[in-house]
Structure 1
Amino acid sequence: MNASSTRTRRTAVRLVVGIATLAVLTGPAASLATAGDRPAPAPGGAAATAAQPAAADWPTLKAGSKGAGVTALQHLLTFRGQAVAADGGFGPATTAKVKAFQKAQRLTADGVVGPATWTRLVTTLRGGAKGAAVKAAQTLLKARGQAVAVDGTFSATTTAKVKAFQKAAGLTADGVVGPRTWASLLNGGAPAGDRAGLAKQILAQKQITLATVHPGGRHAGSTARQNIVDTADGKGALTSPWGDKPNRRVALDPRMLGGLLKLRTQYGYRLSVSEIVGGDHSGNSRHYAGIAFDITHINGRHVGSGAPHKQFMATCRKLGAQEVLGPGDPGHGRHVHCAWSRQGALRK
């Protein structure tokens, strides 16, 4: 082969490689991995980098799950050709559709929706998109406190609500719903460690009732609701003046706040929270450390009077609570106490 032929062949190889690279960078996979997925720029103008959400960022839904996350899942199944009623309940029909989708995607067909299934279900959405996937995003936006019609049309209003949500969640507010935005929507909207963001999401949940009075005294500044309002405003939650650690500002633990939020958004419970750091507890109570809450009503029924407290307590443990007490435990016949860990062996 002469020198001219060799140069021609090398040029052709470079051209093919370049075209292939361009296809990878501009194809659908690239769109899914980058659009709407960037964390907000770091202080000082540092460039943001595109990143897929970690496996831990996706919730796990399965038979028995309820709530907005299940409704969104059902819309996404319909979008992917597995039509199912969007009723917010993970029943046998939804399980069957999940298994069919997983089988078609060559995933383990176990009917459990985890990271691998979510990443195949979601799609990148932006202004002008229409259909069931848009309804899924709108359902989650509405559940996260962004008032928007669930009409299946990605309008200017939906774009504005997506941007508002992304800004609150620490993502680049570009109005594009990519994997990181989907994961954040499904998980409650606030990044780990964001007390104020989590508190705002809790306040937006109409099915989480926060007490505005104390069972044992009057002090509006330390009620469960005011604890969350103060946290949303960037302040510490206030203890009651009659407690063992009176009139103190306490930073609420994001693990506890995230657990409370997920009891509603991921597991579908309707809750009444009686105390967080306020009220009167034992001197070494985890309440005073900002890592505990008490629940008096579950799904409209009082604890100790027919509320599903055993299942609820098991769910609290799944969410990371290490001290879970309820009916059958001394002093907890009428409420469930869920507390997260801290250094040292403490008891309520």
Structure 2
Amino acid sequence: MFRRTVRILAALTMAAAATLVTTVTTAAPAQADGCYTWGRTLSEGMSGEDVRQLQIRVAGYPGYNSVLALDGVFGPATRAAVVRFQQAYGLGADGIAGQQTFSRIYALQDNDCTPVNFTYAELNNCNSDWSGGAVPAATARFNALVNMWKLQAMRHALGDQRIRVTSAFRSHACNNAVGGSPSSRHLYGDAVDLGVSPHSLCRLAQQARNHGWREILGPGYPGHSDHTHVAHDPIRTWSASSCGVS
């Protein structure tokens, strides 16, 4: 907690200092942590790995019933996601990712690129090396990272209150042990089950529609009376009839 507080204060100080600069420079922003540092302002029409890194962190702001592509191309959908991110944090909402936007992201992430309120360990209580699923370990781990940034966006939209993860990545062995479907998205690392916390399961299912998941299953769907499930299934499936989600 102390480390995160120091980093947040440092990021805010950096943003405040930027407003006092009257000359244009090409220097990269100071690195806020050990994860990733952006070296240029990003706007529509640009492309590259830095754009893809930005897309990962704003993946939870695609808009209702939308999913943001993580393709490294700064198109209209990425601009709209950046605008929503900026609005969510009270920044100038111009859709251009510059120093203020990056400073906010730095304040939201840890050294391993996870958002401050979620961890890899939280999304993997099965195989710590992410092996044994339906995809290579590196892919499962990356899918979990994207899910964490979407959860971070949803957490902020819900008043920055805790979201409780009850299950996420599973190897085939772990999935079989809990009676999971042979085609479960948990095997891909891109599914998360959420339990009641400050929020009801229905509130979670309803809010999830705004944060980039194609699969949302909750109360009213068979076997989901005790959790809300969000995932990246290629086919859109929203079913939580007790919550008015379909």
Answer yes or no: is 1:251 the counterpart of 2:141. yes
Aligned amino acid, residue 183 of structure 2: N
* 8 Å contact from structure 2 (residues 193, 229) kept in 1: yes
Q: 1:31 to 1:312 in 2, by over 3 A?
A: farther
Q: Which residue of 1 aligns with 2:188?
A: 289
What do the CA deviations read for 1:215-274 (whole angstroms, capped 9, x no partner)?
A: xxxxxxx51xx66xx4xxxxx4256xxxxx59x843341431211222334542312111
- 1:125-204 pair list within 5 angstroms: 178-185=99-106, 188-189=108-109, 196-198=112-114, 202-203=118-119
* 8 Å contact from structure 1 (residues 285, 346) kept in 2: no
Q: Which residue of 1 aligns with 2:14?
A: none
Q: CA deviation at 1:292?
A: 0.5
Distance 1:272 1:60 in 2: 25
What do the CA deviations read for 1:131-151 (whole angstroms, capped 9, x no partner)?
A: xxxxxxxxxxxxxxxxxxxxx
Q: Which residue of 2 aligns with 1:151?
A: none
Distance 1:30 1:277 in 2: 48
What do the CA deviations read for 1:106-154 (whole angstroms, capped 9, x no partner)?
A: xxxxxxx6623999xxxxxxxxxxxxxxxxxxxxxxxxxxxxxxxxxxx
Pairing partner for 1:260 from 120, 144, 151: 151
Answer yes or no: is 1:116 the counterpart of 2:94. yes
Distance 1:284 1:332 in 2: 16
Distance 1:270 1:32 in 2: 41
Q: Which residue of 1 aligns with 2:62?
A: none
Distance 1:199 1:263 in 2: 12
* 8 Å contact from structure 2 (residues 118, 152) kept in 1: yes
* 8 Å contact from structure 2 (residues 216, 231) kept in 1: yes
Aligned amino acid, residue 184 of structure 1: I
- 1:1-348 pair list within 5 angstroms: 37=29, 50-52=40-42, 55=79, 56-57=81-82, 59-61=85-87, 69=89, 73=90, 115-116=93-94, 178-185=99-106, 188-189=108-109, 196-198=112-114, 202-203=118-119, 210=122, 223=125, 230=128, 236-238=129-131, 249=137, 250-253=140-143, 254-267=145-158, 268-278=160-170, 279-280=174-175, 281-299=180-198, 307-342=199-234
Q: 1:199 to 1:179 in 2, by over 3 A?
A: closer
Distance 2:26 2:100 in 1: 8
Q: Which residue of 2 aligns with 1:123?
A: none
Q: 1:317 to 1:345 in 2, by over 3 A?
A: closer
**3-state SS, counterpart of residue 251 of structure 1:** helix
Distance 2:209 2:238 in 1: 16
Aligned amino acid, residue 130 of structure 2: A
Distance 1:183 1:287 in 2: 30
Instruction: Give the alignment's Cα RMSD to 1 decimal.
Output: 4.5
Q: CA deviation at 1:324?
A: 0.4
* 8 Å contact from structure 1 (residues 33, 179) kept in 2: no
Aligned amino acid, residue 179 of structure 1: Q
Distance 1:33 1:297 in 2: 49
* 8 Å contact from structure 1 (residues 37, 52) kept in 2: no
Q: How many residues align?
A: 168
Deviates more, 1:261-270 or 1:311-320: 261-270
**3-state SS, counterpart of residue 186 of structure 2:** helix
Q: Which residue of 1 aligns with 2:55?
A: none
**Structure 2 unmatched ranges of 5 or more:** 1-18, 33-37, 45-78, 240-246
**3-state SS, counterpart of residue 257 of structure 1:** helix
* 8 Å contact from structure 1 (residues 325, 337) kept in 2: yes
Greater RCO, CA 8 A, separation 6+: 2
Q: 1:28 to 1:200 in 2, by over 3 A?
A: closer
Distance 1:33 1:338 in 2: 43
Distance 1:347 1:264 in 2: 20
Distance 1:337 1:288 in 2: 14
**3-state SS, counterpart of residue 324 of structure 1:** strand
Distance 1:260 1:33 in 2: 35
Aligned amino acid, residue 141 of structure 2: A
